[in-house]
Structure 1
Amino acid sequence: MEDKELATFVRFATGFFLDGTRLWRRRRDGAHQLFARPESRIAILKAVHDDLGHRGFYATRAALTDRFWWPQVRADVVWYVRTCHYCQIQQATKVLVPPTVAMPAPLFSKVYMDTMHMPASGGYHYIVQGRCSLTHWPEWRPLRTETGHTLGEFIRQELLCRWGALREIVTDNGTPFLAALKYLAETYGIRHIRISGYNSRANGLVERAHLDARQAMFKAANGDESKWSRSAYSVFWSERVTTKRRLGCSPYFAATGTPPLLPLDITEATYLQPPPDSILSTTDLIARRAIALQKRSTDLARLHSAVYTARLKAARRFELEHARTIHDFNFEHGDL
Structure 2
Amino acid sequence: IFQTIHIDTMHMTPASNGCKYIVHCRCALFSWMEGRPLCKENHKTIGQWLFEDVISNGKIERPHWDVRQALFKACEDRTKWFWFFFHVMWSDCITIWQRFGCSPYFMVTGAHPTLPLDLLEATWLIELPEGPLSTEELIGYCAKFKPLDLVLVKNMITESSHSAKMLPYFHSPMVVIARTRDGNYIVAELDGSVWQARVAAFRVVPYKA
Matching of residues 54-93 of structure 1 within 5 Å: none
Aligned to 2:112: 259
Give the residue type in structure 2 aligned to 1:145.
K
Query: Could you give the per-residue CA deviations for residues 31-58 of structure 1, whole angstroms, max 9, x where no partner exists?
Result: xxxxxxxxxxxxxxxxxxxxxxxxxxxx
Aligned residues: 122
What 5-or-longer segments of structure 1 have no aligned partner? Answer: 1-106, 161-167, 173-202, 271-336
From 105, 125, 134, the counterpart of 2:29: 134
CA positional deviation for 1:169 = 4.2
From 57, 65, 68, the counterpart of 1:211: 65
Higher strand proportion (structure 1 or 2): 2
Aligned to 1:199: none
Higher helix proportion (structure 1 or 2): 1
Aligned to 1:148: 43
What 5-or-longer segments of structure 2 have no aligned partner? Answer: 124-209
Q: TM-score, normalised by structure 2?
A: 0.55
Give the residue type in structure 2 aligned to 1:208.
R
For 2:45 and 2:64, locate their aligned partners in 1 and report how far apart those are by CA, in whole Å.
19
From 66, 73, 78, the counterpart of 1:225: 78
For 1:170 and 1:267, locate their aligned partners in 2 and report how far apart those are by CA, in whole Å.
41
Percent identical among aligned pairs is: 47
Structure 1 segments, 4+ long, off by >4 Å, are: none
Aligned to 2:3: 109
Aligned to 1:241: 94
Larger Rg: 1
Aligned to 1:171: 56
Q: Are the counterparts in 2 of residues 110 and 169 from structure 1 also a CA contact under 8 Å?
A: no
Q: TM-score, normalised by structure 1?
A: 0.35
Give the residue type in structure 1 aligned to 2:19.
Y
Matching of residues 301-320 of structure 1 within 5 Å: none
Secondary structure (helix, strand or coil) at the match of 1:244 reads coil
Aligned to 1:29: none
Aligned to 1:118: 12
